[in-house]
């Protein structure tokens, strides 16, 4: 039987595999699996051994083909650059309390950061190394990174970043360049930890939901693409993620050139047509809406998996997942329906 790692690697290489791999991102339904072994989120963020155990517990609870070495709090990269954060609750994601560039004058002191100098990112990198050493032969251990534009909204603040795209463009370009340098260093550290596949979240401005196409290109793609190329030169394969309501998947694939792209398939107009146009260019990962995975029922989840898979049936390889992090407290039978339906697919 082909290992989970080989299934994922085969799909990323667009090789035909014996079944469709199923992957997850971030916490895959909440902290319940590692709460059951006596761990809470904040202590895992501060201890690499605990974080590695928690990540493995999440994979084992559901049977995914990957292990996600990092969770979806989306504030750590900005925290390494100076954004203040706090753990409001010990069993929840940390939250930004003060963006570093809340006062734009702070731009003069913004410099690229080595993640090993940050107390929380350092733990995540060390946990990634432990996961590769212990489980990297059997499972695809995925590093987790954010594209420059996603970091920017936590470094500057949501409204501040959007405003800068129209009225303070020079300021936005200054901090996006620094962010890009920091992310390149983070990629190097992940490679040193043995990670060679990166889940790269690039949403928010990678759509026409919040910004026009011209702004999306100038402030998102024009920075995400060079960072992606540097990551690939470092030896990483990229699984690009965009869960927005109006995702510009084809534009991202053309500009960034990832090995795989993950998105909410029901948010893509003419999904079947897009799949046909991208055949042979990228490993598509159509996502089942996470709200449906939460609400169910299992029969509808299964039907949706089959319906979306039909659009990529003529591809040599593809992967599937929930469109975003499976919501906390999702019923086990709904989660099981997603995995069983995907694992039953054959390319």
CATH code of the domain covering residue 224: 3.20.20.210
* 340: phi then psi, degrees, rounded to nearest 5: -65, -40
Say whether pLDDT at 206 is over 70. no
Helices first, then strands: H and E counts in the chain:
16, 9
282 with 322: CB under 8 angstroms? Answer: no
CA quadruple 68, 73, 75, 79: dihedral, nearest 10: -70
CA 58 to chain centre: 16
What are 250-299's pLDDT values in tens digits?
999 999 999 999 999 999 999 999 999 999 999 999 999 999 999 999 99
What's the rounded Cα separation, in Å, for the pair 317 and 15? Answer: 6
Structural domain for 113, as ranges: 4-343
Mean per-residue pLDDT, 294-319:
96
Does the model's pTM come out above 0.85? Answer: yes
Kindly give the pairing relationship between strand 197-201 and strand 237-242: parallel
Number of domains in the chain: 1
27 with 329: CB under 8 angstroms? Answer: no
pLDDT bracket for residue 344 (50, 70, 90):
very high
pLDDT bracket for residue 28 (50, 70, 90):
confident
User: Residues 207, 213, 216, 222: is their CA dihedral positive or negative?
Assistant: positive
Q: Find tokens 């309390």 and name the residue.
A: 97
- pLDDT at residue number 246: 81
Say whether pLDDT at 177 is over 70. yes
- pLDDT at residue number 207: 63
Mean per-residue pLDDT, 120-149:
97
For residue 240, what are the contacts with CB-CB under 8 A and spacing of at least 6? 200, 202, 228, 252, 253, 256, 258, 260, 261, 262
What's the rounded Cα separation, in Å, for the pair 199 and 206? Answer: 16
Say whether pLDDT at 139 is over 80. yes
Long-range contacts of 38-44 (CB under 8 A, 24+ apart): 40/90, 40/91, 41/71, 41/87, 41/90, 41/91, 41/92, 41/93, 42/87, 42/90, 42/91, 42/94, 43/90
């Amino acid at each position: 039987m082909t290992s989970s790692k080989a299934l994922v690697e085969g799909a990323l290489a667009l090789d035909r595999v014996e079944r469709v791999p199923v992957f997850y991102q971030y916490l895959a339904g909440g902290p319940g699996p590692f709460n059951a072994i006596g761990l809470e989120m904040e202590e895992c963020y501060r201890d690499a051994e605990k974080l590695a155990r928690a990540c493995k517990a999440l994979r084992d609870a559901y049977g995914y083909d990957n292990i996600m070495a990092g969770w979806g709090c989306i504030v750590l990269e900005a925290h390494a650059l100076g954004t203040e954060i706090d753990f409001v609750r010990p069993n929840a994601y940390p939250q930004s309390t003060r963006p570093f560039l809340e006062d734009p004058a702070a731009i003069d002191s913004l410099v690229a950061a080595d993640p090993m100098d940050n107390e929380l990112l350092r733990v995540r990198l060390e946990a990634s190394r432990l996961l590769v050493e212990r489980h990297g032969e059997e499972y695809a251990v995925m590093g987790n990174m954010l594209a420059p534009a996603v970091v920017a909204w936590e470094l500057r603040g949501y409204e501040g970043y959007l405003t800068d795209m129209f009225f303070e463009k020079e300021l936005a370009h200054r901090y996006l360049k620094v962010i890009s340098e920091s992310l390149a260093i983070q990629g190097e550290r992940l490679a040193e930890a043995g990670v060679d596949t990166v889940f790269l979240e690039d949403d928010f401005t990678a759509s026409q939901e919040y910004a026009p196409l011209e702004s999306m290109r100038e402030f998102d793609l024009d920075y995400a693409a060079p960072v992606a190329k540097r990551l690939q030169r470092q030896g990483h394969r990229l699984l690009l993620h965009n869960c927005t309501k109006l995702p510009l998947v084809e534009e991202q694939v053309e500009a960034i050139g990832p090995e795989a792209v993950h998105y909410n398939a029901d948010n893509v107009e003419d999904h079947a047509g897009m799949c046909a146009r991208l055949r042979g260019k990228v490993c598509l990962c159509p996502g089942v809406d996470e709200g449906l995975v939460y609400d169910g029922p299992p029969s509808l989840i299964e039907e949706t998996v089959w319906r979306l898979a039909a659009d990529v049936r003529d591809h040599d390889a593809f992967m599937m997942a929930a469109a975003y992090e499976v919501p906390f407290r999702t019923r086990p039978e709904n989660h099981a329906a997603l995995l069983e339906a995907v694992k039953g697919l054959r390319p």
